[in-house]
Homo-oligomer: A and B are copies of this chain.
Amino acid sequence: MIEKTSAGAAPRIHTSVARDLGVAIVSGQYQPGAVLPGEIEFSAQLKVSRSAYREAVRMLAAKGLVESRTKTGTRVSERSRWNMLDPEVLAWAFVNEPPEPFVRSLFEMRLIVEPAAAALAAVRRTEPQLARMGQALEGMGRHGLSTPEGRQADQDFHSLILLATGNEPLASLSSTITAAVRWTTAFKYRKNAVPRDPLDDHGAVFAAIAAGDAAQAREAMTALVSLALEDTNTVLGD
């Protein structure tokens, strides 16, 4: 839950190279099918050793962004092979302003997954999980979404619901969805379009989950995400 992001992260070269290349790829700077310069040339150009460069490429390959073959070289994979659900890939997609259809797609996915997850969580959540949801909700109310603490609490809330489904693959979507929540929220605030206070919506979801009412939880979560999508649409000028 409490992800320590920037603090203790020692800057490792292969990681930053992977990040830079990854951002360049997902933002379209390298089109799918394009071949990267050879290892020796490219690593020299980036002012890093071949080993560090190769490790970076391995990371990108593990996320489906590139494929390396002897003689052919390293080429950018087709978009359909990209692992868009990988939290890092998603984060890279939001470094530059992502295309509007992509943001809508994320909300569409949330509208599919989160209501169902809320329904499952309503009947499966344990007491400690419920307590932590309450704490997150309280944190949202206390700090507000304009502060990092409040946003963290928001993400925690959504994450906890997915966790409470007791479904591990579904919980893996947690990092993806919280990333989506994080970036779209930041996006909205960057545009100075501060929407309604979403605390009531979250409260309704929490109440339904606390009551163990699956149908109500599904409905409340649907409303929550729909309203968030509306807000985003307003910002995007729909």
Contacts and interface: CB of A to CB of B under 8 A. Distances in A.
A181 to B, nearest CB: 14
B112 A168 contact: no
Number of copies of chain A assembled together: 2
A70 interface: yes
Contacts of A85: 83, 85, 169, 172-173, 176
A51 B52 CA distance: 10
A93 to B, nearest CB: 10
A116 interface: yes
A117 B102 CA distance: 16
A218 to B, nearest CB: 11
Contact of A59 (B62, B81, B171): B62
Contacts of A70: 10
Contacts of A117: 112
Contact of A58 (B55, B80, B169, B172): B55
A67 B176 CA distance: 19
Contact of A105 (B10, B80, B108, B168): B168
A127 to B, nearest CB: 19
Contacts of A174: 80
Contacts of A170: 105, 108-109, 112
A228 interface: no
A108 to B, nearest CB: 5
A96 to B, nearest CB: 16
Interface in A49-64: 51, 54-55, 58-63
Contacts of A83: 83, 85-87, 172
A14 interface: yes
A29 interface: no
A102 B172 CA distance: 13
Interface of A: 10, 14, 18, 51, 54-55, 58-63, 69-70, 79-88, 102, 105-106, 108-109, 112-113, 116-117, 120, 163, 167-176
Given A59-B62, A85-B85, 6 more contacts: A60-B62, A62-B86, A80-B174, A83-B86, A83-B87, A85-B172
26 contacts: A10-B69, A10-B70, A14-B58, A51-B54, A55-B55, A58-B62, A59-B61, A62-B62, A62-B63, A82-B172, A83-B83, A83-B85, A84-B169, A85-B169, A85-B172, A86-B86, A105-B167, A105-B168, A105-B169, A108-B167, A108-B170, A109-B167, A109-B169, A109-B170, A112-B113, A112-B170
